[in-house]
Amino acid sequence: GQRGFYASFQYVTLIGGQLLAVLTVVILQQFLTTEELRDYGWRIPFVIGAGAAVIALLLRRTLNETDRRLK
């Protein structure tokens, strides 16, 4: 089957998340000073993460289960 292919998504999303985190830090460092990062800039990644969590929750609640999963 394709179990290995689908199991690889765990690692792909893990590395993808790490790359997005590094990209976020690099972008913040380009637009904010060290003082701004210390004052309020460190909160920005948490806000982004909270937004992503809300989107994931909404997707999880609105998507239908497959017939195979329901059996």
pLDDT, tens digit (0-9, with 9 covering 90-100), for 24-60: 999 999 999 999 999 999 999 999 999 999 999 999 9
Tokens encoding 25 = 């830090």
Cα angle 32-28-57, degrees, rounded to a multiple of 5: 135
More confident residue, 5 or 43: 43
Model-level pTM?
Answer: 0.72
Angle between helices 3-31 and 44-62 (to 10 degrees): 150
Element at 71 (helix H, strand E): none
Distance CA 8, CA 60 (A): 21
